[in-house]
């Protein structure tokens, strides 16, 4: 009898923990970007579930955490989830985050003789393999008719690449924010941006099991994130408040944060055929390098949250 009582107690505790977990949404953010804008906009004040944030400094670990199920939702650039999609990972892209593509750029040292992509022959370039950085540099070279092997390549993270440009060990870098704004402030010369060259998309990605078991929470989170992005875009003072909050959390330069966020004008949007077509472009590019196998990118997308993003979040803020 005592055994059955213990078993019943164990089963009850187990069912309660499952119920509690269903009311917790675990979100992977990068360097407080989404959390800062949502808290600055005041859209998290009346959550009907628990929101657990996990902070990362890059997209690849966000993608891996989604893959193994330790995150329900993650915010990251397009390459990591598209790479995982080639492996049949249990993830789905559920929304797209758009930003000004001037924030993804190829930059040359201010004191260099490099003024165009044609001047890159024989120069040293730093890029990060399997990222916007590699895709932008190679695609820009292709468009300019400069052979990819005309440059000496060094594979460095965005932070290390920025330091390498400062120190003179490379002549050019292909990078993203906040390094683009930082380098521009130091006088770096912009040779090309992602505009008209690569999609440089960012995605909101969900674990497939989370979509199955936490759909209402995910839809609500997307509505609130959309409202926060709209709030930041609605007034320059709001953008500054968001930038100031982000800079405080990350101990970053406030002026750089303000310049970056003002230019980026980041928005959240539902998926559309162009987003999927652009994702296919990126898949085909990396498949062409032999980094992933080619596959139909459309299988990675779940458009069922379109209505949630399009509808205003139902709360009083």
Question: In terms of Cα–Cα distance, which of 86, 88, 126, 105 is closest to 288?
Answer: 86
- The CATH architecture that domain 2-99+201-310 belongs to is 3-Layer(aba) Sandwich (3.40)
Question: In terms of Cα–Cα distance, which of 140, 250, 262, 233 is closest to 192?
Answer: 140
Which residues of the chain are in CATH 3.40.190.10 domains? 2-99+201-310, 101-193
Other C-beta atoms closer than 10 Å to the C-beta of 7 total 10
Whether the pLDDT of residue 3 is over 50: the answer is: no
* Residues 190-244 pLDDT 10s: 999 999 999 999 999 999 999 999 999 999 999 999 999 999 999 999 999 999 9
Task: Give the separation between CA 313 and CA 228, rounded to whole angstroms.
Answer: 10
Q: Rounded to the nearest 5 degrees, what angle is found at the Cα of 198, between the Cα atoms of 240 and 118?
A: 105
Q: Rounded to the nearest 5 degrees, what angle is found at the Cα of 163, between the Cα atoms of 198 and 168?
A: 95
Q: Determine the CATH number of domain 101-193.
A: 3.40.190.10
**Measured CA distances, 133 to 60, 129, 141 (Å):** 14, 7, 12
Strand partners, 91: 207
* Residues 44-75 pLDDT 10s: 999 999 999 999 999 999 999 999 999 999 99
CA atoms within 13 A on the CB side of 91: 32
Are residues 28 and 65 in contact, defined by beta-carbon separation less than 8 angstroms? yes
Q: Is the dihedral of CA 68, 69, 71, 75 positive or negative?
A: positive
């Amino acid at each position: 009898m005592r055994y059955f009582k213990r078993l019943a107690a164990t089963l009850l505790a187990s069912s309660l923990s499952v119920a509690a977990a269903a009311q917790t949404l675990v979100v992977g953010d990068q360097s407080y970007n989404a959390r800062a804008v949502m808290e600055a906009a005041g859209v998290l004040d009346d959550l009907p579930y628990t929101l657990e944030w996990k902070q990362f400094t890059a997209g690849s670990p966000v993608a891996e955490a989604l893959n193994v199920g330790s995150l329900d939702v993650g915010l990251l650039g397009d390459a990591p989830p598209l790479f995982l999609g080639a492996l049949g990972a249990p993830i789905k892209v559920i929304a797209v985050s758009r930003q000004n593509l001037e924030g993804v750029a190829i930059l040359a040292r201010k004191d260099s003789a490099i003024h165009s992509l044609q001047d890159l022959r024989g120069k040293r370039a730093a890029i990060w393999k399997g990222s916007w950085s590699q895709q932008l540099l190679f695609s820009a070279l292709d468009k300019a008719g400069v052979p990819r092997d005309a440059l000496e390549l060094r594979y460095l993270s965005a932070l290390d690449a920025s330091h390498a440009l400062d120190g003179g060990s490379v002549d050019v870098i292909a990078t993203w924010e906040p390094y683009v704004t930082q380098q521009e402030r130091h006088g770096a010369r912009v040779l090309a941006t992602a505009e008209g060259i690569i999609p440089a998309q960012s995605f909101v990605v969900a674990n497939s099991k989370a979509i199955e078991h936490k759909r209402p929470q995910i839809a609500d989170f997307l509505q609130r994130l959309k409202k926060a992005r709209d709030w930041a875009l609605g007034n320059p003072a709001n953008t500054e408040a968001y930038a100031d909050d982000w800079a405080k959390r990350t101990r970053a330069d406030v002026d750089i944060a303000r310049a970056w966020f003002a230019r980026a004008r980041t928005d959240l949007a539902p998926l559309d055929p162009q987003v999927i077509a652009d994702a296919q472009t990126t898949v085909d590019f990396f498949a062409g390098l032999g980094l992933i196998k080619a596959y139909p990118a459309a299988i990675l997308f779940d458009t069922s949250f379109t209505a949630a993003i399009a509808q205003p979040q139902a709360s009083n803020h």
